[in-house]
Amino acid sequence: MNEFNTLGYHPGNTPIHYINATAKLIFFLLLSISAMMTYDTRYLIIVSICSLILFKVSQLKWYQVSFVVKFIAFFTVINVIAVYLFDPEYGVRLYGVRTELWSGVGRFTLTTQELFYLFNLLLKYVCTIPLTLVFLLTTNPSHFAASLNRIGVNYKISYAVALTLRYIPDIQETYLEISQAQQARGYEMSKKVSIIKRLKGVSQIVMPLIFSSIERIDTVSTAMELRQFGKHKKRTWYVSEPYQFKDYMTIVIVICFVAVAIALFFINGSRFYNPWH
Protein backbone atom coordinates (compact mmCIF):
# COMPACT_ATOMS: atom_id res chain seq x y z
CA MET A 1 0.00 0.00 0.00
CA ASN A 2 1.38 3.36 -1.05
CA GLU A 3 0.83 5.86 1.75
CA PHE A 4 0.86 8.71 -0.76
CA ASN A 5 -2.36 7.46 -2.33
CA THR A 6 -4.30 8.77 0.65
CA LEU A 7 -6.02 12.13 0.50
CA GLY A 8 -4.24 14.21 3.11
CA TYR A 9 -1.26 16.41 3.76
CA HIS A 10 1.75 15.52 1.63
CA PRO A 11 5.05 17.21 2.57
CA GLY A 12 6.91 18.90 -0.23
CA ASN A 13 9.50 21.51 -1.12
CA THR A 14 7.41 23.69 -3.42
CA PRO A 15 6.89 27.43 -2.80
CA ILE A 16 3.24 26.72 -1.95
CA HIS A 17 4.24 24.38 0.88
CA TYR A 18 6.30 27.12 2.50
CA ILE A 19 3.60 29.81 2.49
CA ASN A 20 2.25 30.61 5.94
CA ALA A 21 -0.92 28.60 6.58
CA THR A 22 -2.85 31.72 7.62
CA ALA A 23 -1.94 33.55 4.42
CA LYS A 24 -2.77 30.42 2.43
CA LEU A 25 -6.16 30.15 4.15
CA ILE A 26 -6.98 33.81 3.44
CA PHE A 27 -5.96 33.36 -0.20
CA PHE A 28 -8.07 30.23 -0.57
CA LEU A 29 -11.18 31.68 1.10
CA LEU A 30 -11.17 35.06 -0.63
CA LEU A 31 -10.42 33.71 -4.09
CA SER A 32 -12.98 30.92 -3.78
CA ILE A 33 -15.69 33.27 -2.50
CA SER A 34 -15.01 35.79 -5.27
CA ALA A 35 -15.17 33.02 -7.90
CA MET A 36 -18.42 31.67 -6.50
CA MET A 37 -20.07 35.08 -6.26
CA THR A 38 -19.35 36.35 -9.78
CA TYR A 39 -20.56 35.07 -13.15
CA ASP A 40 -18.11 37.13 -15.18
CA THR A 41 -16.68 34.60 -17.62
CA ARG A 42 -13.47 36.55 -18.15
CA TYR A 43 -12.71 36.59 -14.42
CA LEU A 44 -13.62 32.90 -14.01
CA ILE A 45 -11.34 31.87 -16.88
CA ILE A 46 -8.41 33.77 -15.38
CA VAL A 47 -9.00 32.27 -11.92
CA SER A 48 -9.36 28.79 -13.46
CA ILE A 49 -6.01 29.14 -15.22
CA CYS A 50 -4.38 30.38 -12.01
CA SER A 51 -5.88 27.46 -10.05
CA LEU A 52 -4.51 24.94 -12.53
CA ILE A 53 -1.11 26.64 -12.46
CA LEU A 54 -1.06 26.46 -8.66
CA PHE A 55 -1.95 22.77 -8.85
CA LYS A 56 0.96 22.24 -11.23
CA VAL A 57 3.39 24.24 -9.07
CA SER A 58 2.37 22.28 -5.96
CA GLN A 59 3.69 19.11 -7.72
CA LEU A 60 0.68 17.06 -6.66
CA LYS A 61 0.31 13.81 -8.58
CA TRP A 62 -2.83 12.87 -10.45
CA TYR A 63 -3.16 9.51 -8.66
CA GLN A 64 -3.29 11.36 -5.34
CA VAL A 65 -6.45 13.22 -6.27
CA SER A 66 -7.92 11.20 -9.14
CA PHE A 67 -10.67 9.56 -7.08
CA VAL A 68 -11.84 12.85 -5.57
CA VAL A 69 -11.71 14.68 -8.90
CA LYS A 70 -13.65 11.93 -10.67
CA PHE A 71 -16.19 11.83 -7.84
CA ILE A 72 -16.72 15.60 -7.95
CA ALA A 73 -16.77 15.61 -11.76
CA PHE A 74 -19.54 13.00 -11.74
CA PHE A 75 -21.77 15.07 -9.49
CA THR A 76 -20.84 18.24 -11.37
CA VAL A 77 -22.17 16.74 -14.58
CA ILE A 78 -25.34 15.65 -12.77
CA ASN A 79 -25.75 19.16 -11.36
CA VAL A 80 -25.35 20.81 -14.77
CA ILE A 81 -27.84 18.41 -16.35
CA ALA A 82 -30.30 19.00 -13.52
CA VAL A 83 -30.00 22.78 -13.90
CA TYR A 84 -30.80 22.46 -17.60
CA LEU A 85 -33.72 20.06 -17.07
CA PHE A 86 -35.38 22.25 -14.44
CA ASP A 87 -35.15 25.44 -16.49
CA PRO A 88 -33.82 25.18 -20.08
CA GLU A 89 -34.67 28.84 -20.77
CA TYR A 90 -32.99 30.39 -17.73
CA GLY A 91 -30.03 31.64 -19.76
CA VAL A 92 -32.38 33.29 -22.24
CA ARG A 93 -34.18 35.22 -19.48
CA LEU A 94 -30.89 36.04 -17.81
CA TYR A 95 -29.15 37.54 -20.84
CA GLY A 96 -32.25 38.90 -22.60
CA VAL A 97 -31.37 37.36 -25.97
CA ARG A 98 -32.37 34.08 -27.59
CA THR A 99 -30.13 32.29 -30.10
CA GLU A 100 -31.57 28.84 -30.73
CA LEU A 101 -29.15 26.09 -31.67
CA TRP A 102 -31.54 23.15 -31.50
CA SER A 103 -35.32 23.16 -31.42
CA GLY A 104 -35.36 20.08 -29.22
CA VAL A 105 -38.48 18.41 -27.88
CA GLY A 106 -41.19 20.45 -26.18
CA ARG A 107 -39.66 22.97 -23.79
CA PHE A 108 -36.23 21.33 -23.93
CA THR A 109 -34.58 23.55 -26.50
CA LEU A 110 -30.89 24.36 -26.67
CA THR A 111 -29.78 27.97 -26.86
CA THR A 112 -26.42 29.71 -26.92
CA GLN A 113 -27.38 31.67 -23.81
CA GLU A 114 -28.20 28.54 -21.80
CA LEU A 115 -24.92 26.91 -22.86
CA PHE A 116 -23.05 30.05 -21.86
CA TYR A 117 -24.68 30.02 -18.42
CA LEU A 118 -23.89 26.31 -17.93
CA PHE A 119 -20.32 26.98 -19.06
CA ASN A 120 -20.00 29.56 -16.28
CA LEU A 121 -21.24 26.99 -13.76
CA LEU A 122 -18.54 24.56 -14.90
CA LEU A 123 -15.90 27.26 -14.64
CA LYS A 124 -16.79 27.78 -11.00
CA TYR A 125 -15.90 24.16 -10.27
CA VAL A 126 -12.66 24.48 -12.22
CA CYS A 127 -11.84 27.56 -10.13
CA THR A 128 -12.48 26.07 -6.71
CA ILE A 129 -11.64 22.36 -6.91
CA PRO A 130 -7.90 22.74 -7.70
CA LEU A 131 -7.64 25.47 -5.05
CA THR A 132 -9.25 23.23 -2.45
CA LEU A 133 -7.02 20.28 -3.27
CA VAL A 134 -3.87 22.40 -3.26
CA PHE A 135 -4.79 23.91 0.10
CA LEU A 136 -5.67 20.62 1.78
CA LEU A 137 -2.75 18.62 0.40
CA THR A 138 -0.04 21.23 0.95
CA THR A 139 -1.06 22.54 4.38
CA ASN A 140 0.08 20.82 7.54
CA PRO A 141 -3.02 20.23 9.75
CA SER A 142 -1.24 21.66 12.78
CA HIS A 143 -0.33 24.79 10.83
CA PHE A 144 -3.91 24.98 9.60
CA ALA A 145 -5.27 24.81 13.16
CA ALA A 146 -2.89 27.55 14.24
CA SER A 147 -3.97 29.69 11.27
CA LEU A 148 -7.66 29.27 12.13
CA ASN A 149 -7.00 30.32 15.71
CA ARG A 150 -4.94 33.25 14.50
CA ILE A 151 -7.86 34.69 12.49
CA GLY A 152 -10.19 34.43 15.50
CA VAL A 153 -11.57 30.86 15.47
CA ASN A 154 -11.76 29.25 18.91
CA TYR A 155 -8.78 26.98 19.46
CA LYS A 156 -11.05 24.04 20.37
CA ILE A 157 -12.71 24.25 16.95
CA SER A 158 -9.33 24.74 15.29
CA TYR A 159 -7.96 21.66 16.99
CA ALA A 160 -11.05 19.64 15.99
CA VAL A 161 -10.53 20.64 12.34
CA ALA A 162 -6.87 19.63 12.53
CA LEU A 163 -7.80 16.24 14.00
CA THR A 164 -10.35 15.73 11.23
CA LEU A 165 -7.79 16.48 8.53
CA ARG A 166 -5.33 14.09 10.14
CA TYR A 167 -8.00 11.44 10.55
CA ILE A 168 -9.05 11.34 6.87
CA PRO A 169 -5.82 9.61 5.71
CA ASP A 170 -6.03 7.25 8.72
CA ILE A 171 -9.54 6.18 7.71
CA GLN A 172 -8.37 5.58 4.15
CA GLU A 173 -5.41 3.51 5.31
CA THR A 174 -7.60 1.49 7.68
CA TYR A 175 -10.08 0.87 4.88
CA LEU A 176 -7.30 -0.39 2.60
CA GLU A 177 -5.91 -2.63 5.35
CA ILE A 178 -9.34 -4.17 6.03
CA SER A 179 -9.97 -4.52 2.29
CA GLN A 180 -6.70 -6.35 1.76
CA ALA A 181 -7.43 -8.61 4.73
CA GLN A 182 -10.85 -9.44 3.25
CA GLN A 183 -9.33 -10.19 -0.14
CA ALA A 184 -6.70 -12.40 1.48
CA ARG A 185 -9.62 -14.44 2.90
CA GLY A 186 -11.10 -14.89 -0.56
CA TYR A 187 -13.46 -11.90 -0.86
CA GLU A 188 -12.58 -10.47 -4.28
CA MET A 189 -13.14 -6.69 -4.43
CA SER A 190 -11.02 -5.67 -7.39
CA LYS A 191 -12.24 -4.50 -10.80
CA LYS A 192 -12.31 -8.11 -11.93
CA VAL A 193 -15.72 -8.64 -10.30
CA SER A 194 -19.05 -6.91 -10.93
CA ILE A 195 -20.01 -3.64 -9.27
CA ILE A 196 -22.64 -5.44 -7.15
CA LYS A 197 -20.06 -7.80 -5.66
CA ARG A 198 -17.71 -4.89 -5.04
CA LEU A 199 -20.46 -2.96 -3.23
CA LYS A 200 -21.24 -6.04 -1.17
CA GLY A 201 -17.58 -6.32 -0.24
CA VAL A 202 -17.47 -2.65 0.74
CA SER A 203 -20.52 -3.14 2.97
CA GLN A 204 -18.62 -5.88 4.82
CA ILE A 205 -15.84 -3.40 5.57
CA VAL A 206 -18.12 -0.72 7.01
CA MET A 207 -18.69 -2.31 10.43
CA PRO A 208 -14.99 -3.09 11.16
CA LEU A 209 -14.13 0.44 9.98
CA ILE A 210 -16.73 1.99 12.32
CA PHE A 211 -15.49 0.03 15.34
CA SER A 212 -11.89 0.89 14.53
CA SER A 213 -12.81 4.57 14.22
CA ILE A 214 -14.68 4.58 17.54
CA GLU A 215 -11.67 3.02 19.26
CA ARG A 216 -9.34 5.71 17.87
CA ILE A 217 -11.72 8.50 18.84
CA ASP A 218 -11.93 7.15 22.39
CA THR A 219 -8.14 6.95 22.63
CA VAL A 220 -7.64 10.52 21.41
CA SER A 221 -10.39 12.00 23.59
CA THR A 222 -9.05 10.21 26.68
CA ALA A 223 -5.54 11.49 26.01
CA MET A 224 -6.86 15.04 25.61
CA GLU A 225 -8.84 14.84 28.86
CA LEU A 226 -5.78 13.58 30.75
CA ARG A 227 -3.86 16.61 29.49
CA GLN A 228 -6.73 18.93 30.57
CA PHE A 229 -7.35 20.14 27.04
CA GLY A 230 -9.81 23.05 26.99
CA LYS A 231 -9.18 24.18 30.56
CA HIS A 232 -7.88 27.61 29.53
CA LYS A 233 -9.49 30.17 27.23
CA LYS A 234 -6.38 30.54 25.10
CA ARG A 235 -3.43 28.44 24.08
CA THR A 236 -0.14 28.84 22.28
CA TRP A 237 0.84 26.98 19.12
CA TYR A 238 4.19 25.31 18.73
CA VAL A 239 3.94 25.46 14.92
CA SER A 240 2.76 29.07 14.68
CA GLU A 241 4.97 30.95 12.20
CA PRO A 242 5.55 34.68 11.71
CA TYR A 243 4.62 36.32 8.41
CA GLN A 244 7.31 36.71 5.78
CA PHE A 245 7.45 38.72 2.56
CA LYS A 246 5.99 35.88 0.47
CA ASP A 247 3.03 35.66 2.84
CA TYR A 248 2.26 39.36 2.58
CA MET A 249 2.54 39.12 -1.21
CA THR A 250 0.07 36.22 -1.21
CA ILE A 251 -2.47 38.32 0.68
CA VAL A 252 -1.86 41.34 -1.57
CA ILE A 253 -2.41 39.23 -4.70
CA VAL A 254 -5.71 37.81 -3.50
CA ILE A 255 -6.89 41.28 -2.46
CA CYS A 256 -6.17 42.42 -6.02
CA PHE A 257 -8.26 39.54 -7.36
CA VAL A 258 -11.13 40.47 -5.06
CA ALA A 259 -10.84 44.13 -6.09
CA VAL A 260 -11.10 43.11 -9.75
CA ALA A 261 -14.19 41.02 -9.00
CA ILE A 262 -15.84 43.96 -7.22
CA ALA A 263 -14.90 46.33 -10.05
CA LEU A 264 -16.42 43.96 -12.62
CA PHE A 265 -19.64 43.92 -10.60
CA PHE A 266 -20.01 47.68 -11.05
CA ILE A 267 -18.84 47.58 -14.68
CA ASN A 268 -21.34 44.86 -15.61
CA GLY A 269 -24.08 46.30 -13.44
CA SER A 270 -24.61 42.86 -11.88
CA ARG A 271 -22.81 39.63 -11.12
CA PHE A 272 -23.32 38.45 -14.71
CA TYR A 273 -21.20 39.26 -17.74
CA ASN A 274 -23.47 39.66 -20.79
CA PRO A 275 -21.54 39.44 -24.11
CA TRP A 276 -24.74 40.14 -26.08
CA HIS A 277 -25.14 43.66 -24.67
Q: Could you report the per-residue pLDDT of 47-65, keeping only the tens digit for each?
A: 999 999 999 998 888 877 8
Q: How much is the average pLDDT of 240-265?
A: 89
Let me know if residue 167 belongs to a domain. Answer: yes
Let me know if residue 12 belongs to a domain. Answer: no
Which residue segment(s) compose the domain that 41 sits in? 20-139+259-268
* Nearest-angstrom CA–CA distance, 101 and 84: 15
Pair 73, 174 in one domain: no
Let me know if residue 253 belongs to a domain. Answer: no
Let me know if residue 67 belongs to a domain. Answer: yes
pLDDT at 3: 45
Weakest-pLDDT range from 71-80, 125-134, 149-158: 149-158
Pair 111, 188 in one domain: no
State the pTM of this model.
0.77
Let me know if residue 14 belongs to a domain. Answer: no
Pair 263, 201 in one domain: no
Please give the tally of structural domains in the chain.
2
Let me know if residue 10 belongs to a domain. Answer: no
Pair 152, 133 in one domain: no
Pair 41, 172 in one domain: no
Average model confidence (pLDDT) across the chain: 82
Pair 25, 133 in one domain: yes
pLDDT at 249: 93
